[in-house]
Structure 1
Amino acid sequence: MDYASPGGTDTSTDLDVEKMSPAFEHGHVGALTPSESSGKPNGKQGQKTLRRLAQNREAARRSRLRKKAYVQQLESSNLKLAQLEQELQRARRQGFLVSTSGDQPHSANGNGALAFGVEYARWLEEHSKQLDELRAAVNAHAGDSDLQAIIDAIMARCHEIFRLKDAATKADAFQVLSGTWTTPVERCFLWLGGFRPSELLKLLASRLEPLTEKQLDSISVLQHSSQQAEDALSREMEALRQSVVETVASSGSSSSLCRTAGPSGDYTGQMAVAKLGALEILLRQADDLRLRILQEVQRILTTRQCARALLAISDYFSRLRALSSLWIARPST
């Protein structure tokens, strides 16, 4: 049957129009309510509609938050890339990178340390995505098993960056010590190429309330032991610095410092370099302490507290990076 043919015999459309005509003539069509048109009571149906609308609003709110976090992450990444470019240009000027013309000194160690800056920028971007996932899971009141899976992934990434940093320390401990991969404000607060574990514990103790008495005691003990270890490493660092200063000062001139040691040669240059080699050990011990403190914190806290702790740490370093951006963008006087 051809339903589009004007000559069809089906008259149901005409009948329906005739039945609806009085309603159109009296203007009553607009007065029909959804419940009347559907023939369903609006009690349960209205509650479902309200719940659906509330869910849509919540989904939209989360989408806006994710978009805002993504924009902030992009801005942070752009800033980091600009800083890396500045560091690379400075390194080229100082002769750390291999020159294509061959007239600049080669430095594989310098390349290794600068490569860590690039790797760190990539790590930071991935780390931010993981933290966004963790934040969304915490806000959605996800179960402990889901939270633990995200926490384990974040901790695995932390182990990875410490491994990369160890390789960079072997390449050039002084590049790592100076923290060239970080922002200017972060570098101001560095301790032996990283954060002070005791300060991080102090931050967590104030941000993770309420904690049980046992947890508070454990964190207090951990903070005390961390402070002792930090003080010991700081003393060793100061002793190393003083020893190198005395060694360099005892050399008669720069030429004698660089002279190759012979039967009657000057050994001060070799002595200074040998003493500076101890810096690599100190930096590695400092990173071992940082990683051990993070692991101990994870052991002391519950899964949900550990998630909040990781977010608190992330927020702290994000604020430092934001402060660095404000400092760079400040009006010149």
Structure 2
Amino acid sequence: MCKTFHFSVSDYMNSSSSTTELVAAKRMDIYESFHQVNLWEDSFKVDHSTLNPISSPMLMMNSSSIENKSECVLHESREPSEDDQEIIEEPIPKVLRRQAQNREAARKCRLRKKAYVQQLETSRLKLMQLELEIEKTRKHGLNRSNSLDVGYIGSSRTINSEISLFEIEYGRWIEEQDRQNQELKNALQNNASDIQLHLLVESSLNQYSNLFRMKAEAAKVDVFYLISGAWKSSVERLFLWIGGSRPSQILNIVVPKLDALTDEQMGSINNLRLSSQQAEDALSMGLEKLQQSMVYNIQADPLDFGNYGLQMAYAMDKGEALEDFVNQADHLREQTLLYMSRILTIGQAAQGLLAMGEYFHRLRTLSSLWIARSCHHFYPTRHSN
């Protein structure tokens, strides 16, 4: 901070006396020191003519402002330079890499957890299937291997978790189907409204769509199991056609149970029956050719052992083509149901679905009665004397 100096006459007199002191100081060999002091004083001398009372306050104010400005400059934040930015930005790729590694580790952890849960679910399904087999054996009074109505596990002696799941889901599907048939029967007997019948019809059609979806998933696992009808009762297998029933046969069962069909409806139903039979014949011919081709590919030549692997590869390709036939047959069955429901009124559609459900239910009941009869003959009743 700069200081202002005010000189008076007395100061000037004092300065003149300093000359006398210099003479004395010279004699005392300290002239050089005082001479330097005088030089410093000359540098700080101010001209009295230029100094006035007005300029002094301005000088003091400017000095104070300079001091305040210097203090403000010291407190202002300094903008980061390019070197600082390089220091800040340098670890960013490392942070991003570490975050990516953490996300990848979390993803792998979730996948391991999902696989573990699936393994637990598979084990649970196996246990449930074994419990069902034990319960069936206890009810029938026969060993599973001697039963005529064997399932996939009993026939192959191996457990396929996805096929076991299909059998469990199909058992639940049958229970739900019987429940829906009872609801349709009650609604028709009680003269339910069209709105209520419409809901029941839609629910029943969705139930069959779920069955076709379940069969498509099972065909991906083992199409031979599905097309053989091992998942159906023994009596149902008697009427089996490419893993199910013939659509034209279902029409022959349902149509006589319908009330008050108009001529237009009968014409549409006849056209639907004819188109279904033509599609069935085409699929049957294609399946027969596929079977012949498969037999040709897997027939053994006792003198040619080198082509065995190639023959099996061709046969595997035919097995994959067999899956397409099953899906096309189910598609024909589903489309026949949908077109039939569009031709009929709501009440007639409810009657037709009930007739079809009762038909399959009676086939399963007949199969159970036949098995019970076989059990009775295998274990004759012993009467006490």
TM-score norm. by structure 1 comes to: 0.65
- Residue aligning to 2:360: 317
* Matching residue within 323, 328, 334 for 1:280: 323
What residue in structure 1 maps to residue 288 of structure 2? 238
The answer for the alignment partner of 2:268 in structure 1 is 218
Contact 1:205 1:216 in 2 (8 A): no
Q: Does 1:203 align with 2:246?
A: no
Distance 2:346 2:162 in 1: 37
Within a 5 Å distance, the mapping from 1:1-333 to structure 2 comes to 86-87=150-151, 89-91=153-155, 94-97=156-159, 110-252=160-302, 259=309, 267-330=310-373, 332=377
1:240–1:275 CA contact under 8 A, matched in 2: yes
Matched residues, number: 234
- How far apart are 1:202 and its partner, in Å? 1.2
Deviation, structure 1 residue 180:
1.5
Q: Distance in 2 between matches of 1:125 and 1:253?
A: 54
Contact map agreement 2:152 2:231 (CA 8 A) in 1: no
1:318 is matched by which residue type in structure 2? H
Deviation digits for residues 117-141 of structure 1, max 9, x if unmatched? 1111001111211221121111110
Contact 2:259 2:348 in 1 (8 A): no
Q: What is the CA–CA distance in structure 2 between the aligned matches of 1:160 and 1:169, rounded to whole Å?
A: 14
Kept after mapping to 2: 8 A contact 1:112/1:171: yes
Aligned position for 1:43:
none
Q: CA deviation at 1:227?
A: 0.2
1:87 Cα deviation after fit: 2.3
CA contact (8 A) 1:116 1:164 kept: yes
What are structure 2's unaligned runs of at least 5 residues? Answer: 1-134, 145-149, 379-385
The separation in 2 between residues aligned to 1:129 and 1:140, in whole angstroms, is 17
Q: Given the superposition, is the C-alpha separation of residues 192 and 134 from structure 1 closer, same or farther in structure 2, using an over 3 Å criterion?
A: same
What corresponds to 2:100 in structure 1? none
Contact kept in structure 2, 1:248 and 1:257, CA below 8 Å = no
More deviation, 235-244/148-157: 148-157
CA distance in 1, matches of 2:371, 2:236: 13
RMSD of the alignment, in Å?
Answer: 2.4
1:319 shift after superposition: 1.4
1:81 offset after TM fit, Å? Answer: 10
Q: Secondary structure of the residue that 2:377 maps to in structure 1?
A: coil
Equivalence for 1:64: none
Runs of 4 or more consecutive aligned structure 1 residues displaced over 6 Å after TM superposition: 78-83
Q: Which runs of no fewer than 5 residues in structure 1 stay unpaired? A: 1-77, 98-109, 260-266
Mean Cα displacement is larger for which, 245-254 or 193-202?
Answer: 245-254
User: Deviation digits for residues 186-237 of structure 1, max 9, x if unmatched?
Assistant: 0111100001000111112222143110111101000000000000000011
CA distance in 1, matches of 2:139, 2:217: 24
Structure 1 residue 332: Cα displacement: 3.2
Separation in 2 of the partners of 1:125 and 1:82? 18
Judged with a 3 Å threshold, the aligned counterparts in structure 2 of structure 1 residues 81 and 227 are, in CA distance, closer, same or farther, namely farther
Query: Given the two structures, how large is their TM-score scaled by the length of structure 2?
Result: 0.57
Cα distance change on mapping 1:95 and 1:89 into 2, 3 Å: closer
Range moving further from structure 2, 154-163 or 138-147: 154-163
Does structure 2 conserve the Cα–Cα contact (< 8 Å) formed by 1:179 and 1:187? yes
- Larger-Rg structure: 2
